[in-house]
Amino acid sequence: MLTVIAAAESVVPAASAEPYLWALVGAGLVGVAGGFVAVWFVMRQARRLAEQSAQAHLELAKREAAVASQELISQAEEDIRAREAEMNRDFDRRKIEVELMLREIRSHEESLALLDYQLEQRQERLAREASAIKQARDAMRDLSKSLRKRLEGVASLDGEEIRKQLREEVTFECQEELRALRKELLEKSEQELVHEGKRILVTAMQRLASKPNNDITAAIVQLPSEEMKGRIIGREGRNIKSFEAATGTTLLIDESPQMVLISSFDPVRREIAKLALEGLLRDGRIHPASIEDYVNRARQELDLHVAQIGEEAVDRLKISGLHPEIIKLLGKLRFRFSYTQNVLDHSIEVAQLCSMLASEIGLEPNVAKRAGLLHDIGKSIEGEYEGSHALIGADFIRRYGETTIVVNAVAAHHEEVKPETVYAGLVILADTISASRPGARAESMTSYLERLGRLEKLAMTMPGVQQAFAIQAGREVRVVVQPSVVTDEQACQLAKTLRQKIEQELDYPSTIKVTVIREQRYSETAT
């Protein structure tokens, strides 16, 4: 400002410099005022910005404080909920413990109440017994007095008179008892007994649910591919010939996709052939040497399989104490069939029926179950033993420690031996029910007649045979020989020869009894 004024003085003369000076002063004042206003405005803006920044920082601090407080509140609430859950768990645990303690207390109370009741009952029984003893004592005293009086009167009688009086008294007392017994027996009529027997049978049969049996003479083996059929047949058929010779079965290979059929009437051979063929298919190398090797392995595996089957049957029926040899024979029954009925399934079914019937009539079910399971065990014994399967099986289990009751039940189940106990009758009944129920043993009339015809024709081929009759549904063949041609020794040999031919040439269920009859008659007529 002073510089401006000085410059103005140097340019403008002193006389005329005063107006300019005041103008400059005014301009300076205006500039100062403007600067002040500008500074004030800048200061105001800075203050307003500072206030806004402070307000923003305050809002931010408030929000951060609110978030922090919310987190603290959430954490506190989680702590509270955790403690509340822990307290609830502790409360539930204590509640369960209290309930258990209450149950134990109630159980003890019930036990104490039962003991009190039993004690009261025992006291009442003791009181009744004491009263009965007292009455008996009084009766004995009275009887003693009367006996004394009678002895005094008897002392004057002889022996014959005494016997006569005793006989009269005993006869009188027994007549009363016999009349009461006769009346009691007559009240239970024969119709009621028959009805009760039918009810017991129906109840036992309804409780038993059995699966139907199928006629199985072939086994199916699945092949991994069609080209395996050619490998099974081999060059010029040598593999299939070796297999059939080693197993005694017939392999049927047709156009059926990826399968072959093993055919044989012997279930054991069929099972061995199936195991051997499955092993060959897994190996892939099929030639006569490997076929023989796998057939031998299959026979060894079958022995183990048979023992396992017997154990499963025994475990299923919950029978204990059977000898291992008996269990092994039970496993062999899996590969025996009577008509179309599997013999092991039939034996298990008979055992269950025997157990149910024994329970219904108040006998020991375990003994009946044991006899029912073992009744057909003779069918799995090899053919070197002679006799029916019932007698052979009974003799076998007798040697391995079975009781007399079980042995008799097995021997008598075809009534070849007289039944000695009720258990034998139960086995006979259960065997009949199992064999005769619908679907158990399916055989067409045509095949039945053909089987009987083949049996009679085979008997007629023997030399010296005059007539042959198949009886008892093919279980027995009676042969009548010509007495002038066949001697007694030849008749005995003919029976053995016919038995061997039947075993070799015929397929039949169970056993066939051969009876040779040689009869010679002499007659004269007196005139």
String of DSSP letters for 319-337: -----HHHHHHHHHGGG-E
- Domain shared by 427 and 469, yes or no: no
More confident residue, 181 or 56: 56
Predicted pLDDT at 300: 83
Quote the tokens at residue 515. 């009876």
- Domain shared by 357 and 257, yes or no: yes
Cβ contact 258:201 at 8 Å: no
Q: Is 158 exposed, middle or buried (0-12, 13-18, 19+ CB in 10 A)?
A: exposed
Predicted pLDDT at 153: 64
Please list, in sequence order, all residues whose beta carbon lies within 8 angstroms of the beta carbon of residue 394, skipping any fewer than 6 positions away: 378, 407, 408, 410, 411, 417
More confident residue, 394 or 266: 394
pLDDT digits (tens, 9 = 90+) for 211-253: 544 445 567 888 888 788 888 888 888 888 888 888 888 888 8
Mean pLDDT in residue range 488-511: 82
What does the alpha-carbon distance between residue 474 and residue 452 come to, in Å, rounded to a whole number? Answer: 6
Q: pLDDT tier at 448 (50, 70, 90 boundaries)?
A: low
3-state secondary structure 61-85: HHHHHHHHHHHHHHHHHHHHHHHHH
Mean pLDDT in residue range 345-357: 87
Please list, in sequence order, all residues whose beta carbon lies within 8 angstroms of the beta carbon of residue 221, skipping any fewer than 6 positions away: 259, 260, 261, 262, 274, 277, 278, 281
- Domain shared by 122 and 73, yes or no: yes
Cβ contact 211:344 at 8 Å: no
Lowest mean pLDDT among 21-35, 306-320, 343-357: 21-35
Cβ contact 251:304 at 8 Å: no
Predicted pLDDT at 1: 44
Which of 213, 512, 306, 266 minimizes the C-alpha distance to 389? 512
Predicted pLDDT at 215: 43
What does the alpha-carbon distance between residue 258 and residue 224 come to, in Å, rounded to a whole number? Answer: 7
Mean pLDDT of the chain: 79
Which of 261, 289, 255, 256 minimizes the C-alpha distance to 273? 261
Q: Is 279 exposed, middle or buried (0-12, 13-18, 19+ CB in 10 A)?
A: middle
Cβ contact 4:20 at 8 Å: no
Lowest mean pLDDT among 49-53, 298-302, 363-367, 379-383: 379-383
Predicted pLDDT at 44: 82
Residue with tokens 């067409």: 444
Lowest mean pLDDT among 94-98, 222-226, 390-394: 222-226
What does the alpha-carbon distance between residue 465 and residue 483 come to, in Å, rounded to a whole number? Answer: 10
What does the alpha-carbon distance between residue 268 and residue 248 come to, in Å, rounded to a whole number? Answer: 10
- Domain shared by 457 and 314, yes or no: no
- Domain shared by 222 and 191, yes or no: no
Predicted pLDDT at 198: 60
Mean pLDDT in residue range 104-117: 85
Task: Assess if residue 24 is contained within a domain.
Answer: no
What does the alpha-carbon distance between residue 460 and residue 441 come to, in Å, rounded to a whole number? Answer: 29
Beta pairing partners, 426:
none
pLDDT surpassing 70 at residue 384: no
Q: What is the gyration radius of the CA atoms in the chain, in angstroms?
A: 55
Domain boundary residue among 395, 412, 436?
A: 436
- Domain shared by 432 and 454, yes or no: no
Domain boundary residue among 384, 409, 436?
A: 436
The dihedral built from the CA positions of residue 356, 357, 361 and 366, taken in this order, carries a sign that is: negative
Mean pLDDT in residue range 436-458: 65
More confident residue, 451 or 372: 372
Predicted pLDDT at 155: 58
- Domain shared by 92 and 187, yes or no: no
Task: Assess if residue 441 is contained within a domain.
Answer: no
pLDDT surpassing 50 at residue 446: yes
Task: Assess if residue 527 is contained within a domain.
Answer: no
- Domain shared by 239 and 332, yes or no: yes
Task: Assess if residue 202 is contained within a domain.
Answer: no
pLDDT digits (tens, 9 = 90+) for 63-84: 888 888 888 888 888 889 889 8
Quote the tokens at residue 49. 């910005």
pLDDT digits (tens, 9 = 90+) for 144-186: 777 767 666 655 656 677 677 777 776 766 676 767 766 666 6
CATH number of the structural domain spanning residue 500: 3.30.70.1350
What does the alpha-carbon distance between residue 431 and residue 183 come to, in Å, rounded to a whole number? Answer: 37
Mean pLDDT in residue range 33-42: 81
What does the alpha-carbon distance between residue 150 and residue 162 come to, in Å, rounded to a whole number? Answer: 11
Task: Assess if residue 141 is contained within a domain.
Answer: yes
Task: Assess if residue 20 is contained within a domain.
Answer: no
Question: Cα–Cα distances in Å, from 508 out to 280, 375, 454, 455?
Answer: 32, 19, 11, 10
- DSSP code of residue 264: -
Task: Assess if residue 247 is contained within a domain.
Answer: yes
In the chain, the number of structural domains is 4
Domain extent for 44: 30-149
pLDDT surpassing 50 at residue 5: no
- Domain shared by 183 and 231, yes or no: no
- Prediction pTM value: 0.46
- Domain shared by 189 and 304, yes or no: no
- Domain shared by 301 and 374, yes or no: yes
Q: Is 443 exposed, middle or buried (0-12, 13-18, 19+ CB in 10 A)?
A: middle
Lowest mean pLDDT among 108-112, 171-175, 331-335, 411-415: 171-175
What does the alpha-carbon distance between residue 92 and residue 237 come to, in Å, rounded to a whole number? Answer: 80
CATH number of the structural domain spanning residue 422: 3.30.1370.10
In the chain, % of residues over pLDDT 90: 1
Q: pLDDT tier at 11 (50, 70, 90 boundaries)?
A: very low
Quote the tokens at residue 155. 């002392």
- Domain shared by 65 and 193, yes or no: no
Predicted pLDDT at 203: 61
Task: Assess if residue 14 is contained within a domain.
Answer: no
Half-sphere CA count of 358, side-chain side, radius 13 A: 25
Predicted pLDDT at 429: 84
Domain boundary residue among 89, 118, 149?
A: 149
Lowest mean pLDDT among 26-40, 88-102, 408-422: 26-40
Predicted pLDDT at 352: 87
pLDDT surpassing 70 at residue 518: yes
Cβ contact 54:47 at 8 Å: no
Q: pLDDT tier at 202 (50, 70, 90 boundaries)?
A: low
Predicted pLDDT at 118: 85
